[in-house]
Amino acid sequence: MSVVTTDSVLAIGALAAAAGTSPKTVRYYEEIGLLPRPDRQANGYRQYPRAAVDRLRFVLRARRLGFAVDEVRDLLALWDDRDRASRDVRELALARIAELDRRMAGLAAMRRTLAHLVETCHGDGRPDCPILDDLADPHENTCRHDDGAGDQFGAAGASDRHTSHDPV
């Protein structure tokens, strides 16, 4: 397979390399509609316009910043709309910051609880272990040493918006 088919068209491998990702990621973003479907050569190889590099980099950066796929769609629509209001973009970014703050608070609560459990464990030859006891407690589903910022163990990451198919 050729890497670059012409000066203005890229094959999938060249597009992926230019954006710092894999062809699998390019295909995934194409499949879910974050990248437009490219033209195809007679042999079936994809032909991406050079502008696809910028779009793919935009998607990758937004995903690295934690934006969900639907949020990336919204951001792309705003990016494509030259008459957009910057307040719309700012609102999306502020919502992402609030979600990150919530997740960080949940992680901090989990860390405090685990640190407390480690402090209560003797870590010697005895079979009793407060860490295992706590994990086995069917009624224990909150962080006891929580400051109210995140009350469930899963609050910080269980709702991660990456899908199992998302290669990012």
What's the predicted TM-score (pTM) here? 0.71
Task: List the chain domain ranges.
Answer: 9-59, 103-156
Q: Which fold has domain 9-59?
A: Multidrug-efflux Transporter Regulator; Chain: A; Domain 2 (1.10.1660)
What does the alpha-carbon distance between residue 161 and residue 67 come to, in Å, rounded to a whole number? 8
Q: Where are the alpha helices (DSSP H) in the chain?
A: 12-19, 23-31, 51-64, 69-80, 86-120, 130-136
Tens-of-pLDDT digits for all 168 residues of the chain? 444 445 689 999 999 999 999 999 999 999 999 999 998 888 889 999 999 999 999 999 999 999 999 999 999 999 999 999 999 999 999 999 999 999 999 999 999 999 999 999 998 998 999 999 999 988 876 655 544 444 444 443 333 444 444 555
Q: Phi/psi at 55 (nearest 5 deg)?
A: -65, -45
